[in-house]
Amino acid sequence: IPVQAFDLVVIGGTGDLARRKILPALFKRFCAGQMSDDCRLIGAARRDLDAAQYRDFVRDALREFAGELALNEASVAGFCAHVDYVAIDARGDMGWQKLSDLVATGEAQDAVRAFYFSVGPSLFSDIAERLERFGLTDSDSRVVVEKPFGRDLETAQALNAQLAQYFDEGQIYRIDHYLGKETVQNLMAVRFGNMLFEPLWNAQYIDHIQITVAESVGVEGRGEYYERAGAMRDMVQNHLMQLLCLIAMEPPAHFDPDAVRDEKLKVIRALDGVQPHHIVRGQYTASDGALSYREDVGNERSKTESFIALKCHLNNWRWAGTPFYLRTGKRLSHRDSEITVVFKDTPHSIFGPEAGRHRNELTIQLQPNEGITLGVTIKEPGPGGMRLVDVPLDMSFAEALGPAADAPDAYERLIMDVIRGNQTLFMRNDEVEAAWAWTDPIIHGWEARGDAPKPYDAYSAGPDDAALMMRRDGRDWKGLE
């Protein structure tokens, strides 16, 4: 079903994010029949291109990043017919009147007008001011902004204040692409659409919850940014925090944007501070043909963490006493994002100690494949007595749902939500600020102590101390080996 007609202006339309994510996502929605004939995609960036040259740029991007769909020349040509371009300078006045004229002419009636700020945050304020001054925005226009949203509470507040000068909160879509993943949304469906899980979803029945977001790639040419961010700012403050919120939040009264975001905010506000001995920071060293982190970023003395594992607690009735373990890093043994909910032991084992210890585990796999698995304990088949074994009760979406399980990429979903005006999967100003308010003292703590990250081999499971932290608690990390 096509969404309402729209004009999407991608400011920074020649950048890496546009090439890799935004353009392929729109193209795929076009192929799925969601873009009506009068939709337009207007690239706007510093590069001096005309519309035909930008269409060539779009074609190349699709060939590289849109997979098999881009082999269909007719689809690519059809999509490119919606594409236009204006060269602009975000810090000067060049191009803005032209962009304004282009948007004003030929826009479909009642079209949604959205501006994707695919540029660094230092340009947000300049762009917002020009959008208003050149009459490009009104109270119905929408803006999409990317991470990083600030580098601490102060800078995030400043960014929010800058945007609030020009837009209402209801117009601002802060992207966290993890929230666009089908399985992440499924988390809410599983929790709040079944009677089975929610009664057990608390400290009484759950031993602990762990969230791992592991990447095998290094800093990938983004060394300068990463060196100032590190894993805590780059991943924990946003993506892992959002996953934690969805796992831990109370059921909202309705599935509407503010009801969901109110509940997520309460989770962040309930987070306790983290003890220094519950934090393990790491930095990868050269191994298996990979350069070290320090070589990758060109700083022999870098103390930035490319890995972090931490244990935290929520101060509320549902979760008091249940630890949450978060772990993320680069150059780990493989790409693996998963959430594991480990249930407690049965109160008494009727099978005796030789049956061993068996716990139910619910695993929500986000990357590389999406799916949910519940580990249940059954009798091991055969005549060997009452021996127990854990088997997965596999909720493989692909098998159960067939082609309907082909989840769209997160960006496809999120950009369409912008057009639909649905903010449920976007972070609100107060959520972002609360997340920084929790993150800041942790970072200040290790900076004040002068802690250096622990070295770990590239393509390993991270520093040994992360495994030790778990073992001290009598637990193990799941997934990454």
Q: Which is nearer to ligand NAD, 49 or 469 (CB)?
A: 49
Euclidean distance between CA atoms 43 and 50, whole angstroms: 10
Q: Which is nearer to ligand NAD, 86 or 270 (CB)?
A: 86
Q: Which is nearer to ligand NAD, 91 or 472 (CB)?
A: 91
Residues 250/256/257/262 CA torsion (nearest 10 deg): -30
Q: Which is nearer to ligand NAD, 15 or 282 (CB)?
A: 15
Half-sphere exposure of 373 (CA within 13 A, CB side): 17
387 marked as binding residue: no
423: contact with ligand NAD by CB under 6 A:
no
Give me the least distance between CB of 33 and ligand NAD, in Å please.
27
- Could you tell me how many residues of this chain bind ligand NAD (CB under 6 A)? 22
Q: Which is nearer to ligand NAD, 15 or 375 (CB)?
A: 15
Applying CB under 6 A, the span of 42-50, 102-110, 156-164, 243-251 interacting with ligand NAD comes to: 42-50
Q: Which is nearer to ligand NAD, 16 or 50 (CB)?
A: 16
**Is the backbone peptide bond immediately before 148 cis, with ω within 30 degrees of 0?**
yes
> Both ends of the chain: CA-CA distance in Å?
43
119: contact with ligand NAD by CB under 6 A:
yes
Applying CB under 6 A, the span of 31-39, 114-122, 294-302, 354-362 interacting with ligand NAD comes to: 114-122
Is 239 a catalytic site residue? yes
Q: Residue 475 has which token pair?
A: 């637990």
Q: Which is nearer to ligand NAD, 181 or 311 (CB)?
A: 181
Applying CB under 6 A, the span of 52-60, 85-93, 286-294, 381-389 interacting with ligand NAD comes to: 85-93
Q: Residue 208 has which token pair?
A: 């602990």
Q: Which is nearer to ligand NAD, 46 or 318 (CB)?
A: 46
330 marked as binding residue: yes
Residue with the CB atom nearest ligand NAD in the bound state: 15
8 marked as binding residue: no
Give me the least distance between CB of 126 and ligand NAD, in Å please.
8
Give me the least distance between CB of 124 and ligand NAD, in Å please.
9
User: Environment class of residue 338 by beta-carbon count within 10 Å: exposed (0-12), middle (13-18) or buried (19+)?
Assistant: buried
177 marked as binding residue: yes
Q: Which is nearer to ligand NAD, 41 or 341 (CB)?
A: 41
Q: Residue 22 has which token pair?
A: 């935004």
Give me the least distance between CB of 121 and ligand NAD, in Å please.
6
46 marked as binding residue: yes
Interacting residue with ligand NAD among 28, 55, 142, 147 (CB under 6 A): 147
37: contact with ligand NAD by CB under 6 A:
no
Asked if 362 contacts 373 with a C-beta cutoff of 8 angstroms, the reply is yes
88: contact with ligand NAD by CB under 6 A:
yes
Q: Residue 452 has which token pair?
A: 């250096």
CA distance to 31, 364, 400, 456, per residue, from 339 (Å): 32, 5, 21, 23
89 marked as binding residue: no
Q: Which 47-66 residues touch ligand NAD, going by CB under 6 A?
A: 47
Applying CB under 6 A, the span of 118-126, 235-243, 387-395, 419-427 interacting with ligand NAD comes to: 118-126
Give me the least distance between CB of 84 and ligand NAD, in Å please.
15
Chain length of the chain: 481
118: contact with ligand NAD by CB under 6 A:
yes
Residues 4-23 as x/- pattern, contact with ligand NAD by CB under 6 A: --------xxxxxxx-x---
90: contact with ligand NAD by CB under 6 A:
yes
41: contact with ligand NAD by CB under 6 A:
no
Euclidean distance between CA atoms 211 and 310, whole angstroms: 10
37 marked as binding residue: no
45: contact with ligand NAD by CB under 6 A:
yes
Half-sphere exposure of 269 (CA within 13 A, CB side): 8
Closest CA to 268 of 61, 435, 410, 415: 435
146: contact with ligand NAD by CB under 6 A:
yes
Amino acid at 477: W
Residues 268-297 as x/- pattern, contact with ligand NAD by CB under 6 A: ------------------------------
Options 82, 239, 313, 358, the catalytic residue: 239
59 marked as binding residue: no
Report the binding-site residues for substrate. Answer: 177, 181, 215, 234, 330
Q: Which residues bind ligand NAD (CB under 6 A)?
A: 12-18, 20, 45-47, 88-91, 118-121, 146-148
Residues with a known catalytic role: 239
Q: List, as residue ranges, the binding site for NADP(+).
A: 12-19, 46, 147
